[in-house]
Structure 1
């Protein structure tokens, strides 16, 4: 108040105004002064020698939130041209240091636990949705154990069963859902328009629940479960990442839904422990696997831990798979000739002498459908589900000279580093930048699945040169240095990678076998308003049934 009074006294024009007019004038003048001071500070005040360059912004606190939120990839590419692979931008009061390129991804994904923390970055977003005692609500060592226990359930024996279950669910959906009504009348070469994103959202939750989640979950999908899922899903709102625990109606519904869904899973587990369910129908699902697992100290998982792991598997996997399937169907719609090549591949591998196709099976799919594998990989290259992956910086991180912009070597530091990312910042990786980089990929903006047959063009995506590391859930390649990282790298690499390839390949194969399709209009652009990159609406395709 003293500052405001001094400003009025120092400004003759304001002194002569009525109190109401003074207040209205100050409401305009003060924000303008703040913006001017912010601009002057960026242009005049010296920057810390070791700090990464800061993206110029007009409004303090808000910073670059608008330009970043509208189109993250344009924001990344534009600022890489100005500042190099490492730069900092302001995001609603937070300092976000971006590290681009394969070396930037490696800096973030393979940072030491003493330096970076995924838990500190994400727990306020994920714990209200997934629940306590799992994922980022536990110490990293416990999380690594939980990942190992889940990975045990993702076995080849289970995958062999899942292919038939996924096919059955997709076929049932096509045979009963109103969106596919034109194809349910036995009309030869029937044609219909389908909102493919809406369809894939439903198909992925049906197939995931039938395979990983178990019969009880699948049977409940047409009841109250769907409403609970929706309310819980609303917890993955970008505002909850930036400003957690706001007293919003959506957050109140999220909290109620989390409690009810947790109880729902725990009731399933208790009935199974009491032998009140058919063991033969559930032996291949994740609940059955987790009920048999123990931590290193011999302690079995508590029912609440299993319940919350199951919620995490359902919520995290459904979003990414439905987005990728939608993009894959849309990309194929833009290249219908590739759909016919995929169909020819199916006929070659699964065709019988009577003109029919044998059922899909896991082992044949994995080794004998190279074009389908390339389509999945190319879709993930162009449309990684998550555009930004963050860690909280716990202690200063020296940036290797090969990562920072040319000519910015800091002579006051050792020769081993240029910039230093300070503790308290958030460090951000964006693997999608490397995956669409014209310096790495030939015709990077073109959907070309056959590029994956060209070893010269994709040889640098191999992880063979990376060391094997066991973070506590099995030895994997450390990754990080590849320009193709749709599932992340390091200790937090997605353990559902192989299941995702199985689910994506099986569902796409079903559609290729039954339909050909094209875009209804133009190819949709990306929608960045949610945590997952989705196609803008409408995302319609025109399906034509094969003979």
Structure 2
């Protein structure tokens, strides 16, 4: 990652960051900060953490440190000292604290790519305003109107894919499907523009978990360039829709971009362009890769587990059998019948959560379990701290979708976190559910398939994907016309 950086530039950057880090650390020397290692200067333990993620050994990386230092430990990631807080009470502390203590502010890399004014960063009244308007497009009563359109889009894409290929790479296909559903349904972006933006979104996302080294050739540098191109292309679309809104040609309920343009704050002022572009990029990245991950892992699991596959197939075929009249497209009512299929998805997200964890930032000196967390330090929560806890999930290493059916033992708050928790939880969780179920319904309805590399492992970069892209051999289902 750093081998391609010119030596002089790296030296200058290292000295600059060392000065900033020294100021942060000098304040902590007199405090009772958690035990742990800050690793190498500036780089900290970032490379070790990312390497463990790529090998899908993030849980082991954390457990190694928990065994040495306890459930609260310090390290240094993405250029900043960081406190890991593991466990249900720790999740509640990090995700449930007020924004003036533990803020949603992210590391430099995430801020530069996703924007400083996305709903992941906004707090207070501005956060509630923007989130509330976005939720108008993501609540169940709105999603009901999207089902048939989503079903048609997935069906058309899959049929085209099979017509052109007998083997497909599922990761590539699911990323494209998730992206098309978001751009088409939420933002009403036309096909040519979608195609132009797609590659830049992929590049931007890859830069999110990288070192904040902004030199030519680095992942961070490429990600910022890609984000700038996205903003450059979306500004003319924003200006056109703003004009159509003012003339009454377009309604704010048409799409999420028009909705953001129509928002007025407490002073009856519109949102700045930066707020709109930041949230445009954030929603695309958040809704695209998390959904694509889950959809891919569903196909991966169905390829490897015959019992689970048979139950999912039976449920989906029963839905088709019960369909009445001339209805050809999926309905909202049918989505609600996919209970077992969704439990499979829930169990996958428990064992291989799309979101491994998340960063917060201490805006003032605070403490947890007797340890001081200095102002300016990052705080990190991790899903595996509760998802793989045997006191919360019995036999946690066993894949068991039934644990989400008629639970006799309810899951404690802040313990099951595929979509986060607290005021900054994922607002698109229901949208992700409908996208995933629509895609799996079409996949098992239309095709039979086999995995070309049965021993393919999972890697995180930073989302979990099959390491080879999940190539499969695919053919039409025999009983389909």
TM range (shorter): 0.7 to 0.9
- Match of residue 395 from structure 2: 443
- 2:8 maps to none
Say which of 291, 296, 304 aligns to 1:334. 304
CA pair 200-115 structure 1, distance change in 2 beyond 3 A: same
SS of the aligned residue for 1:527 comes to strand
For 1:420-452, what per-residue CA distance to the aligned partner results, in whole angstroms no more than 9, with x for missing partners? 223332211002331122333233223222221
Of 98, 113, 121, the match for 1:112: 98
What's 1:175 paired with?
A: 159
What is the match of residue 19 of structure 2? none
Q: Structure 1, residues 282-309: CA drift from partner, whole Å, max 9, x if none? A: 9542123334432233323355543432
1:432 aligns with 2:387: no
In 1: Cα distance, 2:81 partner to 2:458 partner: 26
Structure 1 Cα separation of the partners of residues 452 and 225 of structure 2: 40
Q: Tell me by how many angstroms 1:197 deviates.
A: 1.0
Which one of the candidate residues 510, 524, 539 is aligned to 2:442? 510
Q: Which among 435, 441, 460 is matched to residue 411 of structure 2?
A: 460
What is the aligned counterpart of 1:162 among 146, 152, 166? Answer: 146
| Structure 1 residues 278 and 234: CA distance shift in structure 2, 3 A | farther
Distance in 1 (CA, whole Å) between partners of 2:121 and 2:86 is 28
For residues 46-445 of structure 1, the aligned pairs below 5 Å read 50-55=32-37, 62-71=43-52, 72-91=58-77, 94-119=80-105, 121-122=106-107, 124-131=108-115, 133-135=117-119, 140-177=124-161, 181-182=164-165, 192-216=166-190, 218-222=191-195, 224-240=196-212, 243=213, 245-248=214-217, 253-275=222-244, 284-302=254-272, 305-352=275-322, 358-366=328-336, 368-400=337-369, 418-445=370-397
SS of match in other structure, 1:429: strand
Q: Shift of the alpha carbon at 1:205?
A: 0.8
Please tell me the root mean square deviation across aligned C-alpha atoms, in Å. Answer: 3.2
Question: 1:294-331, CA deviations, whole angstroms, 9 ceiling, x for partnerless residues?
Answer: 22333233555434322221122211111121112111
- Once residues 505 and 92 of structure 1 are traced to their aligned partners in structure 2, the CA distance between those partners, rounded to angstroms, is 35
Pairing partner for 1:536 from 456, 464, 467: 467
| 8 Å CA contact 1:166, 1:210 repeated in 2 | no
Identify which range, 534-543 or 328-337, moves more after superposition.
Answer: 534-543
CA contact (8 A) 1:129 1:255 kept: yes
Q: Which moved more, 1:286-295 or 1:444-453?
A: 286-295
1:359-387 deviation line (CA, Å, top 9, x unaligned): 21123313x22112212211211221222
More displaced, 268-277 or 145-154? 268-277
Larger Rg: 1
Q: Distance in 2 between matches of 1:109 and 1:460?
A: 17
Match of 1:406 in 2: none
Indicate the SS of the match to 1:114: coil
SS of the counterpart of 2:84? strand
Aligned in 2, Cα 1:93/1:344: closer, same or farther, shift over 3 Å? closer
> Equivalent residue for 1:44?
none
**Partners of 1:304 and 1:83 in 2: how far apart?**
42
Residues 113/538 of structure 1: CA separation in 2 closer, same or farther (3 Å cut): closer
Aligned residues of 2:206 and 2:219 also touching (Cα < 8 A): yes
After superposition, the C-alpha distances for 1:1-59 in whole angstroms (9 at most, x for unaligned) are xxxxxxxxxxxxxxxxxxxxxxxxxxxxxxxxxxxxxxxxxxxxxx97833222496x5
Match of 2:391, SS state, is coil
CA distance in 2 between counterparts of 1:435 and 1:525 reads 20
Q: Distance in 1 between matches of 2:395 and 2:308?
A: 17
Q: State the partner residue of 2:415.
A: 483
Give the CA deviation at 1:518. 3.9
Counterpart of 1:497 in structure 2 is 429
SS of residue paired to 2:264: coil
1:453–1:204 distance in 2 versus 1, CA, 3 Å: same
Q: State the TM-score, normalized to the length of structure 2.
A: 0.81
SS of equivalent residue, structure 1 residue 98: strand
1:139 Cα offset (Å): 5.5
Aligned-partner Cα distance in 2 for 1:109–1:101: 12
Deviation at 1:101, TM superposition (A): 1.0
Deviations 1:95-147 (A, max 9, x none): 2211111111111111222322222x33x324433456544675554233221
SS at match of 2:353: coil
Task: Assess, with a 3 A threshold, how the Cα gap between structure 1 residues 113 and 351 changes in structure 2: closer, same or farther.
Answer: same
TM-score by length of 1: 0.72
Partner of 1:443, secondary structure, is: coil
Distance 1:169 1:535, change over 3 A: same
